[in-house]
Amino acid sequence: ETGVTQTPRHLVMGMTNKKSLKCEQHLGHNAMYWYKQSAKKPLELMFVYNFKEQTENNSVPSRFSPECPNSSHLFLHLHTLQPEDSALYLCASSQVGRDTFQETQYFGPGTRLLVL
């Protein structure tokens, strides 16, 4: 596998279900990100993990719970979601160094989530 992979690619869940999205990066990067892309809003940053530490939570509801067990893997645990949470969830990774703003983020293919 190369680049950033995400599973599953598609997910349909009910509002009472619990599911998890998985992201894996094969680029040797040390920072990982979750983004939400819905039809009505631009790409929104949800969470940032830097060296496995969560360093940003962009006012995301607690029904979304991220987990980063190591620098290559990132999970997004979902529970009691709402229909408005239906969106494309994208994972990205980058290499954080001294000049953080120059790093390029590389994205996975996304998980298309539908909440019924």
Q: Applying CB under 8 A, which residues contact another protein?
A: 31, 33, 42-43, 45, 48, 50, 55-56, 88, 90, 92, 94, 96, 99-110, 112
- Between 9 and 18, CB nearer to another protein: 9
CA 77 to chain centre: 10
- Between 50 and 65, CB nearer to another protein: 50
Locate 108 and state its tokens. Answer: 């996975």
Dihedral sign (CA 82, 24, 58, 67): positive
How many Å apart are CA 71 and CA 50, to the nearest integer?
8
- Between 7 and 18, CB nearer to another protein: 7
- Between 18 and 56, CB nearer to another protein: 56
Q: Residue 80 Cβ, how far from another protein at the closest point, in Å?
A: 25
Locate 56 and state its tokens. Answer: 């940003």
Q: Residue 25 Cβ, how far from another protein at the closest point, in Å?
A: 13
Question: Is residue 79 classed as helix, strand or coil in its secondary structure?
Answer: strand
Q: Kind and range of the H or E element at 90?
A: strand 87-94
Q: Residue 110 Cβ, how far from another protein at the closest point, in Å?
A: 4
